[in-house]
Structure 1
Amino acid sequence: MLLRTVLCLAVASASTVTFADTVWLKNGDRISGKITVFDGGKLMVKTEYGGSIPLDWKQIKTMESDQELLVKQDDYMGEKAKTIKAADDGKVILQNGEAPKTVELASIQQIIKPKPVVTDLQIKGNVDMGLDYKRAETDTDDYNVAFKTTARHGKWRHIGSGEYNRESQDSVVTTDNFDLEYSLDRFLTDQWFWQGRVDYKRDKIEDLERQRTVGTGPGYQFWDDELGAFSLGGLINRTDYQYTDGDKDRFYSVAMKWDYNRYLIGKTVEFFTNGELGKPIGNVADYSLDAEVGLRYKVTEWASLNLKAEKDLVSGTDAADLDTTRYTAGFGVAW
């Protein structure tokens, strides 16, 4: 029994060593963990003892990894290496089933994990919160909460998002609205997909107090990997407007929808933008725009600071136009 226990511990220990990535630095230090990404001059290594550690690429002597990684030596072409083996100073050996290939570390521009075929449910998302309290001649309270979550399984992708904004000055509410949206994508190929979505907006202050939109159309996923994602979609929408005076509008429109995010500086900073530009069919409105752009700075694996700008515009309606620009700064969590 004791011998069996010892053997099991030995096997477990050997497995841990076998599947741990190792990075040797020029100063003689050695970092063990899991290589997640190399971009912007930083190699991110996830460790059990210190979380994700960014390493300066110029300070790396060599490294090894037993996981499959996509190694890019230019902006367009990459080579899937089944394993990476340590070599002489400033070099690594890529093994992909063919003859091993020795490359200079200085020639590598990017290392990411290849996008796997999604067979199990994968969920990711974030919540951003902004709070601003000002006590002066005019007291101001400002709240902003936004969330977005994505669930992917096989060829189906579910995206849910929402936002709530409220602002008051001397106890008088000047902004009070929320927005909820759900999208369902069905991938026809690895990149082409068909989307259906529903969106509901409620504003208790502006003349345009309710917006309900149902739409469908094709989309294209340009990329979706460790460093970000970018997709464009074309939609045919049916939209209902309801105004504070009781008037209503119903119309069809065509729209372009985008969703882009990109991690920078070793995944410590994220740039993101998403939105929709629509053109109604008929004379109900000239055009509509709902967009946001911002930055997130990762403080820990799950916490971040964020700064973003939002634009909500409906031009040419029968009632007063809607034109709102909002800037927020705050903190958030991700999963």
Structure 2
Amino acid sequence: MPGFLRIRAVSPFIMSSIKAFSPLSRILLCLAVASASTPVLADTVWLKNGDRLSGTIRVFDGNKLVLETGYGGTIAIDWKQVATLESEQHLLVKQDDVTGEHAKALVPAEPGKVTLANDTAPKTVELASIEQIMKPKPLIEDFSWKGNIDVGVDYKRAEKDTDDYDIDLKTQARHGRWRHNAEAEYNREKQNEVETTDNWSADYALDRFLDEKWFWQGRLGYKRDYIEDLARQRTIGTGPGYQFWDDELGAFSLAGLINRRDYEYANGDKDNFYALTARWDYNRYLVGKTVELFTSGEVGKPLGNVADYALDAEAGLRYKVTDWASLNIKAEKDIVSGSDGDIDETRYSLGFGVGW
């Protein structure tokens, strides 16, 4: 069982050297020696076979405890093999899907248990009763940045030679109550040297959080298509949104926007109208953060007779090969129904990506 008392001896040479200095110098030197002798604080995991692992606890979910180490990278530990834990982090420990307890520290206990230290009396719980462990995410953050780039390439040589390219960028940065969201996508496909798909799009949204959940969003979007009749789409919109959750295991938000849309067709005709739009952005990590399920998009209803509805959505899975590299499979759907340039496109891609 883990011990809690660590004693380090100071050599006679160091003690004799300290005596040779002035009183102030002795104090400073003693502090330096003490600092060098104190081990760096780290989380500790004791396994049932007697092994002990040190690092930083990132998350526990899906029967996997994710421990970040300096000697082996990120390690996913089978929860059934854990005997007890120790951590000086503030962690959210959930014993069901709804409620959770903020623990100021985790104190090791007898095998199969851990003690949650907080402002009230310490609470010892069974490891088997814990559903999730994660670091609480504060409302106000100084700065955070995350994102990923996914690349899909498909070459087929048969009766119809096909070259297919798909590049997606999605990134998000947050500073205090402000959150910046940017997306860009490029799609191109050739069949027997004839281009069947050639388009790109860019989208930017700025969120201002009003409290922990509610935010107000402003959004700009542009799409250029060199093949379809609907050649250009421009969008500007604003409206409220709600962040259901945003933590180590993923995020989910919804926003309702009033958009101004401008359509420009290949023959030179133009349309502009207002639309009510619902946007969603969801991702969820599974199996100890090795698999990510994600979906995002928007569905809108024009105010007028320009079109029946519009849908632009994607959904897929991302499998982490390393801390930064992943494999992904994705399906995309783009529909504009009832306009002069109807669109109904479905794309599937398999590729690799880089995340941060």
Tell me the TM-score normalised to structure 1 length. 0.96
Matched, 1:84 2:130: no
Matched, 1:260 2:260: no
Alignment counterpart, residue 175 of structure 1, candidates 197, 201, 204: 197
Alignment gaps of 5+ in structure 2: 1-13, 19-27
Q: What letter matches 1:181 in structure 2?
A: D
Distance 1:119 1:230 in 2: 18
Q: How does 1:272-291 map to 2 (within 5 A)?
A: 272-291=294-313
The aligned counterpart of 2:5 is: none
Distance 2:349 2:287 in 1: 23
SS of 1:120 mapped into structure 2: strand
2:315–2:331 contact (8 Å) kept in structure 1: yes
Distance 1:300 1:207 in 2: 42
Tell me the TM-score normalised to structure 2 length. 0.91
Q: What letter matches 2:238 in structure 1?
A: T
The aligned counterpart of 1:162 is: 184
Matched, 1:33 2:52: no
Q: What letter matches 1:254 in structure 2?
A: L
Distance 2:306 2:33 in 1: 72
1:302–1:333 contact (8 Å) kept in structure 2: yes
Q: What letter matches 2:35 in structure 1?
A: V
- CA apart distance, 1:15: 4.4
Alignment counterpart, residue 130 of structure 1, candidates 128, 142, 152: 152
RMSD after superposition: 1.4
SS of 2:267 mapped into structure 1: coil
Give the ranges of 4+ consecutive aligned residues of structure 1 lying more than 4 Å apart after TM superposition: 1-7
Distance 1:9 1:295 in 2: 51
Q: Deviations over 1:155-209 (max 9, x none)?
A: 1000000100000112111100001000000111111000000000000000001
Distance 1:33 1:112 in 2: 15
Distance 2:303 2:321 in 1: 46
Matched, 1:308 2:308: no
Q: How does 1:181-192 map to 2 (within 5 A)?
A: 181-192=203-214
The aligned counterpart of 2:21 is: none
- CA apart distance, 1:10: 4.6
The aligned counterpart of 1:54 is: 76
Matched, 1:67 2:89: yes
Matched, 1:8 2:32: yes
Distance 1:193 1:56 in 2: 38
Alignment counterpart, residue 208 of structure 1, candidates 230, 246, 249: 230
1:72–1:78 contact (8 Å) kept in structure 2: yes
Alignment gaps of 5+ in structure 1: none
Percent of aligned pairs sharing the same letter? 67
SS of 1:324 mapped into structure 2: strand
Distance 1:168 1:216 in 2: 37
Distance 2:94 2:70 in 1: 27
Q: What letter matches 1:93 in structure 2?
A: T
Matched, 1:333 2:324: no
Q: Deviations over 1:252-308 (max 9, x none)?
A: 000100000000001000000000000000000000000000000001111100001
Distance 1:56 1:10 in 2: 37
